Amino acid sequence: SDWEGCLSVPGLRGEVPRWAHIRYSGFDEFGQTIDRTVDGFHARVVQHECDHLDGTLYPQRMRDLKKFIFESEIQHWLKRERDEEDE
């Protein structure tokens, strides 16, 4: 899980579970086949954008809506998570 935001839901962020490592295939803008295996941020962005194609927004993927917050609150949440890890 990591924090995501989206222009479709402006001013908000949410903690969203995503696969850390994915493989996808398709065609580029020239009609050439692509087949990629990616991880990290790239994998998260591909899943986020594929959700849009299916009409799904990231809040619908969230498991805990208590972690659906205003962007101005993100530093508070990150500090809280660090403090909990240190305990």
Burial-class residue 40 by CB neighbours within 10 Å (0-12, 13-18, 19+): exposed
For 55, the token pair is 């009409």
4, 15, 29, 49: the active-site residue: 49
**CA–CA distance, 9 with 12 (Å, rounded to integer):** 6
Known active-site residue 81: no
**CA–CA distance, 24 with 34 (Å, rounded to integer):** 8
Active site residues: 49
